[in-house]
Chain A
């Protein structure tokens, strides 16, 4: 039997040798490819474990910070301000990826986009931490005031600097805790994520720049600008005092004023008291082409170049849509029907009017600093759109001052500061209203523009844009101007 036994040994030896060859193939020849295959989740873990810079507010508060953790992932991302900046800063989750600044500026935070330093002896010996700190234009002070003023009403607040496009505050309620999504206990992370997704109030939806609402009467700012830009004679045309405007081609349907009031007059008067019948007729007088062109000039129908993922495109229908729908044009002129705007867009409208007609690119990045704190990159403000002429902008602004001094927006008055603004109270169709206030201040040399939206307020005379949203805008303006 011995010869056979020897051959059994030889056969097994050959099998083990084949195994050894295959292992050399997998662990030497093909190792690099397997180790870096995008489907190999170790790649994600390795990236997840890389050093990651802080995200800091303009007033120096740390909004996102990595602490070391004694596990596979080496570092745990924390958010000291919790929900306050969640919708801007975003999250950095192993399971759910990243969002917000964490996603937009990932290259800077990980140092991937940093210029390679000249190698010196120290760099050769230790692995260089090239992660960078991202400083935002948002201020914790103003953000906090915005959050406190809105309270537990669903809605959003956006404040920015008209001359640069720098966003000072961008808040929407409800918000979420990004820290709960970045933990390494993936069951708890999934639970937190699922709870957020199941919540009917949609806390992870950044209403401020990712959702759209009827802009209501705040859209009358664009009507007014369109008058000065396209048909200046309408600015002096007296509109009849009406309780309801009969709509063309409808066999007796009509568009009523808010609360059944009667109003009319020339353009400044119409804007001051926010007269629906007047502006519906202004819209019809201007025509679909002029109104649609003006809306597009102010940033509708295009994606705002915000440096955050996924800003919503605000909508105003193209002129052709109104060819057989004049009632629709009348309703669109007062920001109803198919008109939809994000709070960011309405803030940009105010900012354009404040900045002589030029809308600057909205942005949250202030600068990028290396690990030693040296500024390596500063955001350079750039114009986005020329919405209108300086003359038109100044004329509209003058009318907005009247709104706050003696019109629907008196609640936004600040002693010693001239505020220009416009109220909005948009019907939702569910027997509720979205209340708006957009404003800029100081009117002569604007330093800040804001838009405030409070969703789903009861449809009654006590819950208008002037009563609900204007006081919030006032607090945010005060906070921005005092800082």
Chain B
């Protein structure tokens, strides 16, 4: 293999330059809109975003030269736009988000460096299963866990809060992929019957059901409905993709309805989310306040938005994390929100194309699982903010403020790129 610039990396570099220019423009406009003055430190800002993306680009050139060319620029664009909004909403968080972005890029680079082939991950499948469940348990540890807004999803050490669920998501996706690939033949062959459903030998289903069940119990006890739903869906979808048996989807659908019904009956937290979803206006000053403020922001933005820095999205509680999509909707309008949706469609499309073109089954299933969590997570929070579904607090990947989310998603991106670099079409002819 000759050391020459690959066409994909050239495309990527061009796109990165475009993304940096877009982000810089948005950053300047937001400052002009808010204070009618140019932002301080434009130079350092430019150097940092360009530098960070170039580091990731160089890592790809070195360790995955044949990887896909548009994933990194799209992630960079979402990350950059998210940063512009965070800086505009809460200056204190902006510095932290910049640090977390740097850590995310570092994690991205290390992932590419350590895992030269996606199958390297398979070796750690049970370790990852334990790590995943263990991470989820951490917030329940006395002295370590922190309650924020009624949910116990954070741990705190050395002044930094961290949401381990984000990392657990990756660990469990890898575990599910490697386990399911091993047992897919067995799991596709039903041996016993439960009501209308034919199910495989419980012996083969055991470990995965335990890992999944444990994570759901933990998340429920932490009041984290969004992540519970994400894990649940991830598991069902991966099971179905691996086996091709529609019965899993049917059982999953049934379990979801039953679980949701149980949650509605037993958890006040879950019930209030559904009540607010049905009619937020009846609770405008209490539980419905946040959703309504989000709707006001979206409506006030209209088609073209108020312009960067010219709206007043700070009226929305938690606007830098869960509700950042509403802030984008207010200041960039439908054009901005549609662009964000399009970016996620591109990410998902690219991720699944990587899965389809991957040769090894593990690679396929891993890429599908990773892409699905990314896409579904983005959908869950955007749909919650727009009242398409009940709201469950979860970060909007790459855009929301949140260190653990950013680092985890950059690792996810590195894994997808690693899979794409090993695929048939990427190999030198």
A interface vs B, CB < 8 Å?
A: 1-6, 8-9, 12-13, 15-16, 18-20, 22-24, 26-28, 30-35, 37, 39-42, 45, 70-72
Q: Of all chain B residues, which has the CB nearest A26?
A: B298
Which residues of the partner chain B approach A42 to less than 8 Å between Cβ atoms? 296, 300, 312, 315
The answer for the CA separation of A42 and B301 in the assembled complex, in Å, is 11
In contact, B329 and A23 (Cβ under 8 angstroms): yes
30 contacting pairs across A/B (C-beta < 8 A): A2-B364, A4-B240, A4-B368, A5-B352, A5-B368, A9-B348, A15-B383, A16-B341, A16-B345, A19-B388, A22-B383, A22-B387, A23-B334, A23-B337, A23-B341, A23-B386, A24-B334, A27-B302, A27-B337, A28-B334, A35-B296, A35-B299, A37-B296, A37-B299, A39-B292, A40-B299, A42-B296, A42-B300, A42-B315, A70-B36
Q: Of all chain B residues, which has the CB nearest A45?
A: B312
Which residues of the partner chain B approach A15 to less than 8 Å between Cβ atoms? 375-376, 379, 383
What distance in Å separates the Cβ of A17 from its nearest Cβ neighbour in chain B? 9
Q: Is B333 an interface residue (CB 8 A)?
A: yes
Q: Is B70 an interface residue (CB 8 A)?
A: no
The answer for the CA separation of A30 and B281 in the assembled complex, in Å, is 15
What distance in Å separates the Cβ of B216 from its nearest Cβ neighbour in chain A? 21
In contact, A19 and B383 (Cβ under 8 angstroms): yes
> Of A2, A22, A32, A34, which contacts B296 at CB under 8 A?
A34
Which residues of the partner chain A approach B241 to less than 8 Å between Cβ atoms? 1, 4-5, 8
The answer for the CA separation of A35 and B301 in the assembled complex, in Å, is 8
B360-388 CB contacts (< 8 Å) to partner A: 361, 364-365, 368, 372, 375-376, 379, 382-383, 386-388
> Of A26, A35, A45, which contacts B386 at CB under 8 A?
A26
Q: Of all chain A residues, which has the CB nearest B374?
A: A12
Q: Would A23 and B338 be within 8 Å (CB), given that A12-B376, A35-B300 are in contact? A: yes
What distance in Å separates the Cβ of A73 from its nearest Cβ neighbour in chain B? 10
The answer for the CA separation of A45 and B311 in the assembled complex, in Å, is 10
Which residues of the partner chain B approach A3 to less than 8 Å between Cβ atoms? 244
Q: Is B344 an interface residue (CB 8 A)?
A: yes
Q: Is B319 an interface residue (CB 8 A)?
A: no
Q: Of all chain B residues, which has the CB nearest A20?
A: B341
The answer for the CA separation of A5 and B350 in the assembled complex, in Å, is 12
B85-138 CB contacts (< 8 Å) to partner A: none
Q: Of all chain A residues, which has the CB nearest B181?
A: A1
Interface size, B (range): 35 or more
The answer for the CA separation of A41 and B349 in the assembled complex, in Å, is 39
The answer for the CA separation of A16 and B344 in the assembled complex, in Å, is 9
**Contact pattern, B 297-337, Cβ under 8 Å of A = 1, otherwise 0:** 01111110000000010010000000000000100011001
B interface vs A, CB < 8 Å?
A: 35-37, 237, 240-242, 244, 284, 292, 295-296, 298-303, 312, 315, 329, 333-334, 337-338, 341, 344-345, 348-349, 352, 355-356, 361, 364-365, 368, 372, 375-376, 379, 382-383, 386-388
Q: Would A33 and B299 be within 8 Å (CB), given that A8-B241, A8-B372, A42-B312 are in contact? A: yes
A-B contact count (CB 8 A): 128
What distance in Å separates the Cβ of A260 from its nearest Cβ neighbour in chain B? 62
In contact, A13 and B312 (Cβ under 8 angstroms): no
- The 6 A-B pairs at the shortest CB distance, nearest first, are namely A34-B299, A27-B334, A4-B241, A40-B296, A9-B352, A35-B300
The answer for the CA separation of A27 and B352 in the assembled complex, in Å, is 30
The answer for the CA separation of A12 and B386 in the assembled complex, in Å, is 17
Q: Would A35 and B292 be within 8 Å (CB), given that A1-B361, A4-B240, A72-B312 are in contact? A: no
Which residues of the partner chain B approach A6 to less than 8 Å between Cβ atoms? 352, 356
> Of A8, A20, A27, which contacts B298 at CB under 8 A?
A27
* Chain A binding surface SS class: helix
In contact, B341 and A26 (Cβ under 8 angstroms): no
In contact, A70 and B35 (Cβ under 8 angstroms): yes
The answer for the CA separation of A32 and B303 in the assembled complex, in Å, is 11
Which residues of the partner chain A approach B386 to less than 8 Å between Cβ atoms? 19, 22-23, 26
The answer for the CA separation of A26 and B382 in the assembled complex, in Å, is 13
> Of B296, B298, B349, which contacts A23 at CB under 8 A?
B298
> Of B296, B364, B375, B383, which contacts A5 at CB under 8 A?
B364
The answer for the CA separation of A219 and B285 in the assembled complex, in Å, is 50
Which residues of the partner chain B approach A16 to less than 8 Å between Cβ atoms? 341, 344-345, 348, 375, 379
Which residues of the partner chain A approach B348 to less than 8 Å between Cβ atoms? 9, 12-13, 16
In contact, A31 and B299 (Cβ under 8 angstroms): yes
The answer for the CA separation of A9 and B356 in the assembled complex, in Å, is 11
Q: Would A1 and B379 be within 8 Å (CB), given that A23-B329, A27-B337 are in contact? A: no
The answer for the CA separation of A22 and B294 in the assembled complex, in Å, is 13
The answer for the CA separation of A23 and B295 in the assembled complex, in Å, is 10
What distance in Å separates the Cβ of B36 from its nearest Cβ neighbour in chain A? 5
The answer for the CA separation of A35 and B292 in the assembled complex, in Å, is 12
What distance in Å separates the Cβ of A310 from its nearest Cβ neighbour in chain B? 27
Which residues of the partner chain B approach A27 to less than 8 Å between Cβ atoms? 298-299, 301-303, 329, 333-334, 337
The answer for the CA separation of A24 and B386 in the assembled complex, in Å, is 10
Which residues of the partner chain B approach A32 to less than 8 Å between Cβ atoms? 299
Which residues of the partner chain B approach A72 to less than 8 Å between Cβ atoms? 312
The answer for the CA separation of A421 and B259 in the assembled complex, in Å, is 85
In contact, A1 and B349 (Cβ under 8 angstroms): no
The answer for the CA separation of A31 and B344 in the assembled complex, in Å, is 24
Which residues of the partner chain B approach A70 to less than 8 Å between Cβ atoms? 35-37
In contact, A28 and B302 (Cβ under 8 angstroms): yes
The answer for the CA separation of A290 and B191 in the assembled complex, in Å, is 106
19 new A-B contacts at CB < 8 Å, known A15-B375, A22-B383, A27-B329 = A2-B356, A2-B364, A5-B352, A5-B355, A9-B349, A12-B375, A16-B345, A19-B386, A20-B338, A26-B329, A26-B386, A26-B387, A27-B298, A28-B303, A34-B295, A35-B299, A37-B296, A39-B292, A42-B312
